[in-house]
Chains A and B, each alone.
Chain A
Amino acid sequence: MTGELTTTTPVARGVDAPAAAPGTPGGSGGRARGARRLPPSLVVGAVLVGLVAVVGLVSLVWTPYALDDTGTGERLAGPSAAHWGGTDRLGRDLLSQLMTGAGNALVVAAASMLVAGVLGVAVGVLAGATRRWVDVTLLSGVDLLIAFPTLLLAMLIVTVRGASLSSAIWAIGISGAAVIARVTRVNVARVLREDYVTAAHAAGTGWWGVVLRHVVPNVWPTLLVQLMLLGGGAVLAEASLSYLGLGAPPPNASWGRLLQEAQSTMLVQPWGAILPGLAIVVAVLGLNLLGDGIRERTDPNLRGDR
């Protein structure tokens, strides 16, 4: 079955493979497509991502306190009416920093999804739709990149370019592009072998016609799912990098760095270490659920078996 191609390769590892299992054994729901109830994961995922997005957008125009406002004094204070999340070791408002961190996480997720999407689709289509030697050459490069851990690629790039937001985005985006290229290639090649494509060719439809009419509609749901999961991975990876001090430098608020800064004082003010972690979980869980939800909604094989 087609499911095998995308799932047994370790390519789509992480969050992809588990949900694929119910899909392979013939499915139980049949073709129950249509305007029925939305999958709960889609709804919950959309709400969580929406929450992060709204907070991130609001932080662009308003935060309760300015980021560098050390206020009237209380350092490492617990949550209060004036400071809902408490304050950090310099007396800065934690909630304001968390809100700005949401914006940062969104930028990283969106930008790396863009890099991965553009690069990955281009390479994947090229590999799936052209001559065999192009395919083999591109795929071996892609496989090497997939085996190359994101964190190590990021460290290489940071060593050379220095720690910055763009270094993180390039590292995460390039790693993700390899996965997207793999998925795109498998699906493009599969669609191009279908009888209806042969029929379209026979009926005189040109290459672009086939791509737009048949390939894109068949491939985009899978890609969208992969991109969402990639977004979740991007938020996690950026948090790890900035926790290690390899992310965007200080004026930018990043959840990972907030957590790292709060670690040494967490016996006094535990919220400083708890809240940034919760924020990361909300964003990543939201994107993962959104991905799962889109897959359930668009893949009829997954219906009713969860």
Chain B
Amino acid sequence: MRAALLRIGALLISLVLASVVVFVVLRLLPGDAAGATLGVGTTTDQLDQLRSELGTDQPVVTQYVQWLGQVVRGDLGTSFVSRLAVADLITQKLPITVPLSLSAFVLAVLVSVPLGVIAAVHRRGPVGVAVSAVSQLGVAVPVFWVGVLLVLVLALQARWLPAGGFPRTGWDDPAAAVRSLVLPVVTVAIAMSAVMVRYVRSATLDVLDQDYLRTARSLGYGRWHALARHGLRNAAVPVVSILGIELATSLLGAVVIENVFALPGLGTLLLDSVTSRDLPVVQALVLGLTAVVLIMNALVDLGQRAIDPRLRAKEVAA
């Protein structure tokens, strides 16, 4: 319990640190928000006026504290470009990005866990070698290229699925919405599976070499039975840590892939804001995505403790 509280405390500290990093990087490097908004050919008076409007004439520490106070209250500021509330902009995009990354994650887990276990059990057989080779190759393949190739073959040539875009009516037409998410989901899932298969395989290999598994076999359990009874929970400990990180990765994968498929989600919003230097939006999105990653990491640590009593025992001893 004490360790869990400590972990949550560490999470809060890293969230605050992350917010400082995001804030400082966007403020202290050359070029400021006012200059970025007004562009070339503006007078110093206009700049000064905007600066006092934005509060950028205040000391950085004051600005940071004000901003953090607003963020905690759910006010993410106003977009320089669209003049809309950043929180609203983000909420609008969630119905695309969240289903995309969650389904990609689930699909990747469903594919990679069985494949990884099979590859480990038959490590020297043709199946094991093939899985290892394909995942080695898969790790080197850029995720957006997978998307482009799928579009080329399945959308442009076979015409089975749309090449991109999202129905204007959104989820009011569920069939059309699902159809436009199929290829993006498969793309992200392929890229994630390549990484996850390797982790599952190595975690299972680790377990297969343990004495307790040999003992189980010598007691007459079959290979799969022994693995199911004694191996899976042990192999799950390192795999859970990767699953957590990969869930965060799937969110970032979605950010890139949305641009391949012209899906109007968080990733497209982020890219547009970076290109137009829309600081409040970039700031909120980068901080939000980073927070998701940090929170996932903390959950993973807590989850590992739940699975593995040895980790709990260690902390009692200490």
Specify which of A152, A157, A159, A239 lies most central, judged by the most chain B CB atoms within 10 Å of its CB.
A159
Does chain A have a CB within 8 A of B41?
no
Q: Take A18-B198, A156-B282, A159-B26 as given contacts and tell me if A25 and B210 are in contact as well, using a CB distance cutoff of 8 Å.
A: yes
Specify which chain A residues have a CB less than 8 angstroms from the CB of B152 in the assembled complex.
266-267, 270, 273
Give the shortest distance, in Å, between B139 (CB) and chain A (any CB): 6
Does chain A have a CB within 8 A of B12?
no
Give the shortest distance, in Å, between B123 (CB) and chain A (any CB): 9
User: What separation, in Å, do the CA atoms of A18 and B29 have in the docked complex?
Assistant: 39
Per-residue 0/1 for A249-287: is the Cβ within 8 Å of any B Cβ (1 yes, 0 no)?
000000010010001001100100110110011001100
Name 9 extra pairs, CB < 8 A, besides A151-B255, A243-B144, A246-B274.
A22-B202, A147-B297, A156-B26, A159-B274, A160-B31, A240-B143, A256-B144, A276-B145, A284-B142
Give the shortest distance, in Å, between A4 (CB) and chain B (any CB): 11
Does chain A have a CB within 8 A of B315?
no
User: What separation, in Å, do the CA atoms of A20 and B238 have in the docked complex?
Assistant: 12
When A and B form their complex, which 9 residue pairs have the shortest distance between CB atoms, in order from nearest?
A21-B202, A277-B145, A18-B198, A25-B209, A285-B140, A284-B140, A160-B29, A18-B202, A21-B205
Give the shortest distance, in Å, between B281 (CB) and chain A (any CB): 10
Total interface residues in chain B, CB < 8 Å: 61
Question: Considering the complex, which residues of chain B in the window 39-86 have a beta carbon less than 8 Å from any beta carbon of chain A?
Answer: none
- Interface segment out of the listed B16-24, B101-109, B177-185, B219-227: B16-24
Please determine whether B290 and A17 come into contact, CB atoms closer than 8 angstroms.
Answer: no
B residues at A contact (CB < 8 Å): 13-14, 17-18, 21-22, 25-26, 29-31, 136-137, 139-145, 148-149, 151-152, 156-157, 195, 198-199, 201-203, 205-206, 209-210, 238, 241-242, 245, 248-249, 252, 255-256, 259-260, 270-271, 273-275, 277, 279, 282, 286, 289-290, 293-294, 297
Give the shortest distance, in Å, between B3 (CB) and chain A (any CB): 17
User: What separation, in Å, do the CA atoms of A146 and B279 have in the docked complex?
Assistant: 23
Please determine whether B206 and A158 come into contact, CB atoms closer than 8 angstroms.
Answer: no
For A21, give its contact among B148, B149, B203, B248 (CB under 8 Å): B203
For B148, give its contact among A147, A152, A155, A277 (CB under 8 Å): A277
Please determine whether B274 and A149 come into contact, CB atoms closer than 8 angstroms.
Answer: no
